[in-house]
Structure 1
Amino acid sequence: MDITVVGGGLAGLTAAIASAERGANVTLLEAHRALGGRARATDPPYVANEGPHVLYGDGAPFTWLAERDLVPPSLPFPARGLARMRVRHRGRVGMPPAALLRAAARRRLRAPHDRDFGSWAGEEIGEEPARVAANLMGVVLFDSDPSRLSAAFVWERFRRATAPVWPSPKYLVGGWTSLVERLARRAREMGVRVETGARVDAVPDTPAIVATSLASARALLGDDSLEWESGHTLMVDLGLWRGRDPFVVFDTDECGFLERYSLVDRTLAPEGEELVQAQLPVRPGESRADVTERMERFLDLSLPGWRERVTWRRDQVARGRTGALDLPGRTWRDRPAVDRGEGLYLVGDSVAAPGLLGEVAFNSAVAAAEAATGRRSAGAA
C-alpha cells in the first residue's frame, strides 16, 4: 500500500512511522525546508520551543515512543524546582493560595461535560477555588477565560497538571528538536521517503493522512466544517543574565504562566544566562500593545529586575494553534473526525482523539495509520 502523509511535524512523523510499521510505502511531504512543524525551535545559543517544553510521561504517546526507543535523553521534574514554584494571586507573587490547595484536594470529583466549569466548580468546591483552578489552567489551555469551557475538559486537565503520575513530566534535553530528529531518523530508516520544501496545493491521491493545522487542512481539503475552538495567547521568550528567579510562576489572576526551562536543561541558554518562556492569553478584542503591557507587568512581578538583565527576546502571538478547547456540551469525540472517508485521514491537535495538548496529535496519528492500513477504525482512538 502507498500512503502519502502531508505535514512533517510530530503528528506527521508519527503517522509515517506507524504506517511504515504496518508495511505501507510512505511518502511524507513537508512544505517547510525543515521538519518539525510547531515542534521546531530557535537555533542556539537560545533554544526556545513554540510552547511548553515537557512531555508527559503518563500518557499513551510516551508509552508509544518508549516502546520504540524514540524518547530522547530527558530530565525529570527537578526536586529543587518545588521550592521555587510561585503563584500570582490577587496581584502578588508568592506561595500557592489556600483556595488552590482546596481545589486540588477534591481530586475525586467527576465533572460533567455539558456544564461550564465556572458554574459547576463554584457549586462543588466554592467560588474562589473554582476561579483559581480555572485560571491556573492557562498553562495548558492558553485561553483567557477557562471558566466558560466544559467542566469535564477543564477538570480533567486540572487533575492531571496538578498531580502528574510518575514518570511525568519529562524535559527533553535540547527541547522538541531532539524528538523531531529521532522521529525523522527512524522514519527514514524504515524507508519513508521524506520531501521537504514540498508544498501541497491539492488533495493528494488516497490513501492520505493530512497532518497539518486545522486551518491548513480546511483550505487544502476545501472543507468548511473543519473548525474548532483553540487558544489565543502571547508568548515571550527571554534570555536573561542569571538572577534569583523562580522556576515556575502560575497565574491565577490572568491565566498566564512562566517557566525557567534552563533550570532543568542548561543546554538551552549560554553559560551564566537563563532561558525563560512566559505566555499570557489574549482577551477578546484586545490589541497586541495591551496584551504586551499586561505581559510585562506579569514579568515585573515574577522576575525582579528582568528589564536590565535581558540578553535576547522573542515575542510571538499564537492563535488557533495551541490545541482544541471543548465548550460545554462537547467532548473530544465531537471534534473533526480522523477518518474523513474515501481513504482520507486527518490528524493534529484539534481532531477527534483524546489526550493533553500534543498528545491529541500523537494519538490521532497512530489511529489514522492503523485505519489507513486496515487494522481498525480511526474512531477507536
Structure 2
Amino acid sequence: MHHITVVGGGFAGLTAAITAAEAGAKVTVHEAHHTLGGRARTADGPYRTNEGPHALYSGGPHWAWLKQRDLIGPLAPLPPLEVARLRLRHRGALRRTPPLALLKLLRRDASRAPVDVDFLTWATGVAGEEGARAAAHYSAVALFHHDPGSLSAAFVQERLRRAARLPPEAHYPRGGWEGVIDRMAARAWNLGVRVETLSRVDTVPAGAPVVVATSLAAAGRLLSDDSLTWPSGRTALVDLAVRTRRGDAFAVSDLDAPGWIERFTAQDRTLAPAGEQLVQGQIPIAPEESRADGVARAEELLDLGFPGWRGRVTWRREAVASGRTGAVDPPGTTWRDRPAVDRGDGVYLAGDQVAAPGVLSEVSFNSALTAVSLALGRNHTRNPTRKTA
C-alpha cells in the first residue's frame, strides 16, 4: 500500500487526500493552521465571509466530482429578480445592459482567440477598442488582475465566456465555502486519512511521495526552488455589512476599470444577521497602487449601486490579496508553461498556479488529481538524503 504525504489542507490538499485514499493509499495531511480550508475558509461570527468572492463554476470537472460524492451540499439559489439587478458601470454611469460591442465577443460563432496575442489587441480587431476594454474589465471577475487586456487572448477569452454564460455557471454553497470544506474533511476522515493541524512542515518528508498543496511561494520556500514563480494578481478586498434597503444592486461590474462588487446575501440570507446585507468586492490593483487606491474605486462602485451605503454600514473589513488569486498567462503562454506538477524525486505540486487547466478553483482540483495519479502510478523510493529547505 502506498503512503502519501500531503502538505496543505486547503481545497487542493483535501482533493488530493480524498483521491489518494479512494485509491487505497494511506494518507497523512499536514496543515499549518488550526483549521482546514486554506483560502476556502469561511469566517466565524455573524458575517460569514470568504477570503474574497468565491463561487463554484458548474461547467468544470470539479463540480461533477464533488456532486458524485455529495460534497457540494445545499446551494443558495439566486432569485430571478436579483439577477435582473446586475448593474454595469460604463462611461461613468450605471447601466442595465452591456455595450453592443462587448456582445460581439460573446457570440458563439466568435473566432477562437490566439494564445500569442494580447487580449486587447485581438479583441479590438473583433469589437473595436471600447468593446475590447469593456470585455477585458468584465473578465476581471474571474481573473483578479489589474490589466486583463495585456494577458493572452485565449486565456482571457475562456474566462470571459465562462463568467458571462447564461444561465450562470457560478453557484454558491449555502453558508459559505466552509460547508464544502467540512464535508470534504469528513469524507477524508471516513476514508482513514490522518489529518494533523497546527503541523507546519519545514523540510520535505523522506521516503513516501509528497503532494505539496500550498501557495506557489510557500512551495518554493519548502523545496528551496527559486524557479517556482508565475504571474498572479494583486487585489484589494472590501467586505462590509449594510442595513437592508430596497433597490440595492445584486452586483456591480466595472467596465471602465477592473472591479466587481457583489451582495452575497442576495442568494444566501444566512451570511449576515436579519436586516443586514453582506457585500464583498474585489478590485484588482497594479503593483504601484496601494490598498487605499483599490478601496477608493470600490467605494465609487458602492456609491452607484448602493445609494446611502455609508450611513448604513454596520461592519467593515479591508485587505489585499497578493499572489493569492490564481495564475494569469501572459501572451505566448498557456497553463502548460506554468510550474510542472511533477517536481521529480517523488514530489508533486497542487494549487492554482501550477500546470493544470481550468478556471479559478478548477486548477487546484485538476492539479491535485494529476499529482495523485502520478504519485500512485509508479513505485517511489525517495532519497532520504535529498536536499530540502
Q: Is the shorter-chain TM-score for this pair beyond 0.5, marking a shared fold?
A: yes
Count of residues in Structure 1 that have an aligned counterpart in Structure 2? 375
1-side partners of 2:316 and 2:268: how far apart? 19
Letter in 2 for 1:250: S
- Residues 126 and 231 (structure 1 numbering): CA distance in 2 closer, same or farther, change over 3 Å? same
Letter in 2 for 1:109: S
Residue 379 of structure 1 is matched in structure 2 by: none
8 Å CA contact 1:240, 1:309 repeated in 2 = yes
Q: Cα offset for 1:75?
A: 2.7
Q: Cα offset for 1:174?
A: 0.6
Q: Which of these residues, 121, 124, 130, is aligned with residue 123 of structure 2?
A: 121
Residue 161 of structure 2 is matched in structure 1 by: 159
2:347 counterpart of 1:344: yes
- Residues 110 and 280 (structure 1 numbering): CA distance in 2 closer, same or farther, change over 3 Å? same
Which TM-score applies when normalising by structure 1? Answer: 0.95
Letter in 2 for 1:347: A
Q: SS state of the match for residue 163, structure 2?
A: helix
8 Å CA contact 2:261, 2:301 repeated in 1 = no
Which runs of 5 or more residues in structure 1 are unaligned?
377-381
- 1:1-381 alignment, distance < 5 Å: 1-98=2-99, 99-105=101-107, 108-163=110-165, 168-205=169-206, 206-243=208-245, 244-374=247-377
Q: Percent identity?
A: 57
Superposed CA RMSD in Å reads: 1.5
Q: SS state of the match for residue 234, structure 1?
A: strand
2-side partners of 1:103 and 1:360: how far apart? 24
- Residues 100 and 375 (structure 1 numbering): CA distance in 2 closer, same or farther, change over 3 Å? farther
Q: Cα offset for 1:68?
A: 1.4
Which runs of 5 or more residues in structure 2 are unaligned?
380-389
1-side partners of 2:125 and 2:343: how far apart? 40
Which TM-score applies when normalising by structure 2? Answer: 0.93
Q: State the Cα deviation string for residues 343-379 of structure 1 (Å, max 9, x = none).
A: 1100000000011011100111111111111189xxx
Q: State the Cα deviation string for residues 3-61 of structure 1 (Å, max 9, x = none).
A: 10000001000000000011110000000001110001111210000122321111100
- Residues 325 and 107 (structure 1 numbering): CA distance in 2 closer, same or farther, change over 3 Å? farther
8 Å CA contact 1:11, 1:362 repeated in 2 = yes
- Residues 338 and 34 (structure 1 numbering): CA distance in 2 closer, same or farther, change over 3 Å? same
2-side partners of 1:374 and 1:48: how far apart? 39
Q: Cα offset for 1:126?
A: 1.5
Letter in 2 for 1:224: D
8 Å CA contact 1:58, 1:164 repeated in 2 = no
Show structure 1 runs of 4+ deviating over 2 A. 75-78, 96-108, 287-295
Q: State the Cα deviation string for residues 208-251 of structure 1 (Å, max 9, x = none).
A: 00000000001000001100000101010111100121001111
Letter in 2 for 1:40: R
Q: SS state of the match for residue 81, structure 2?
A: helix
2-side partners of 1:186 and 1:337: how far apart? 28
Q: Cα offset for 1:187?
A: 0.2
- Residues 170 and 375 (structure 1 numbering): CA distance in 2 closer, same or farther, change over 3 Å? farther
Q: SS state of the match for residue 172, structure 2?
A: strand
